[in-house]
Amino acid sequence: MLDRLLSHDRPGHPALAVIVVLIVAALALAPFVFPGAKALSVAAKLLVFILLVASFDLLLGYTGIVSFAHTMFFGIGAYGVAIASTRLGEGWGPVALGLAAAAVVSLALSFVIGLFSLRVKAIFYAMITLAVAAAFQTLASQLSDFTGGEDGLTFKNPALLSPSFEWVIGGAAGAVGGEGGFVIDGKLLTYYLLFFAVAALFLVLLRIVNSPFGRVLQAIRENDFRAEALGYRTVVYRTLSNVISALFATLAGALLALWLRYVGPDTTLSFEIMLDILLIVVIGGMGTMYGAVIGAALFVLAQNYLQDLLKIGAGALEGVPVLSVLVSPDRWLLWLGLLFVLSVYYFPTGVVGRLRARALARAAGAPR
């Protein structure tokens, strides 16, 4: 049953399986095991990035296409929900309408980009997507009447997902603050909406890459001329990969918007987010869906908690020459960059790629 759920694509290494299970369990129990607003926000961001990075890996790792327009589709999903909820009011209807409109726009744009640009090779295609993404970000910043400009849009979620919503289970009627019962609020419901949506969509992506369609994409990545000679229309497959990837990025953007109840150019369309996605794919391992889980967990946790760890280190080394300066919390970006350089150096094929290679070597009886 589990094998079918994972599309017969298991992690491939005992340590990797344990890490993935621990990450999933931590995310599933995050509201109860890790109390506090920051911990829950980090867990929600991790969920969104898992889906976003997995959708990009379909394009880069499985098809071999370098695109810088992924955050554009991410932003379209977020803005679609925000604009509809702002103009039509709170409710599931505006959310559904905004998501549907965003999906249509993303599908149309990704199809046009794929159809007209995928015949352009390597760096030229990457530059085209970068130009399109930059133009879209500028457009979102300037159309202030429609998108809120640099200030962005703040909107209300449906009542069930509103922070003010509370549902007391097992408490006495009229109990203040849910005394004597378990309180489920809108924030908790929104988090689990993200959790189950990301889990389901990730399994769909896992199925796609392990289907005959996914095998063709990998063949195109390895040698597109040979795939063309075998009778596959590579432009069609590459365009479909672009469209599917854009659709999942759009869904990730919509989920982020529901969590934040705010959308702005910096939250979804920033080029820094695109760089983060590229780093996560490289760290986790290109062409491995599990790499999105591992890479996103390492990156998001380091990004949010490295500075706190450095504060502890700085306190312990207070008064020690040089070392106290090096571990200063103000230098957390330096240490973050160093960690990424070391991870790429020691894991050139990513964490997942390295562990899977070791598992294959062990199975073949070769030395590690």
Could you tell me which residues come within 8 angstroms of residue 194 by beta carbon, excluding any fewer than 6 positions away? 44, 47, 48, 255, 258, 259
- Structure confidence at residue 203 as a pLDDT band (50, 70, 90): very high
Asked whether the beta carbons of 77 and 267 are under 8 A apart, the reply is no
The whole-chain average pLDDT of the chain stands at: 86
pLDDT at 166 over 90: no
- Say what percent of the chain tops pLDDT 70: 93
Give me the pLDDT at residue 334, please. Answer: 82
Comparing 229-233, 248-252, 288-292, which segment has the lowest mean pLDDT?
Answer: 229-233
What does the angle CA 282 – CA 283 – CA 284 come to, to the nearest 5 degrees? Answer: 95
Report the alpha-carbon distance of residue 215 to residue 218 in Å, rounded.
Answer: 5
Which carries the bigger pLDDT value, residue 294 or residue 339?
294
Q: How far is CA 272 from CA 71, 153, 200, 278, 327, in A?
A: 10, 20, 27, 10, 25
Strand pairing partners for 153?
Answer: 263
Please report where in the chains the tokens 């760290």 appear, as a residue: 283
> Residue 225: enclosing H or E segment and its boundaries?
helix 224-229
What CATH number was assigned to the domain covering residues 2-363? 1.10.3470
Q: Which of 128, 139, 141 is nearest to 66 (CA)?
A: 128
Q: What is the pLDDT of residues 270-314, one digit of tens each?
A: 889 999 999 999 899 898 899 999 999 999 998 888 888 888 877
Tell me the per-residue pLDDT of 69-99, one tens digit each, with 9 for 90 and over.
999 999 999 999 999 999 998 889 999 999 9
What pLDDT score does 119 carry? 65
